[in-house]
Structure 1
Amino acid sequence: MMSHLLPPEADTHQEILQYNVDQTLPTFKEGEDVVKWWSSVFSSGKYPGLCQAVKSAFSIFHGPLVEASFNLMGDVIDPRSTSMNISTFSAIQCLDCKV
């Protein structure tokens, strides 16, 4: 299902089994920053397939910015501008997120 996201040599099933029993990884504590915790896993060099899948999941646009983006786009896309193409919409969205 996610094979296009993973390194071709990755045996993710085996990596997940090893990851679940790996005593050398730091313990995740509630309230900790999950991205910082995963960065320690990334830097370990272990689990390339699992790490690639997690990085892909982290790259998904989420959080309060999503709602703000839709609110902003309501001001940009209206009945008069419904023919706006996707690349223009994406460009406006990216520019607004950086402001």
Structure 2
Amino acid sequence: MTIHVNRWSMTSDSTAESADRLAGTWAKSWRLSWLPDRLLTHEQALAGMDLAEIFSTQDFRHDPTVRARALICAGQLGIPLELIGLELLHRRHP
């Protein structure tokens, strides 16, 4: 799993989710495809992309290290991991 990051976007080789940077230099200038109503910092957008990759596999269910990483990323977004999981799993299987 790899997240490709440049100045304006973040993409993944394992999920269709992405993050885009809005024009401007605000601290919160990133938007995730799966969380479009919130502006995020670069670090939060990266955490969101990490979560999208985590939930694109079954590892989060069986690997305590992956689950711990997911909890840290969810904390960066300020959203309970269960809600993030529901959103991302629903996007994969509408």
TM-score tier by shorter-chain length is under 0.3
Instruction: Give the structure with the higher percent strand.
Output: 2
Normalising by structure 1, report the TM-score. 0.25
Q: Which has the higher helix share?
A: 1
Higher relative contact order (CA 8 A, sep 6+): 1
The structure having more radius of gyration, on CA atoms, is 1
Q: TM-score, normalised by structure 2?
A: 0.26
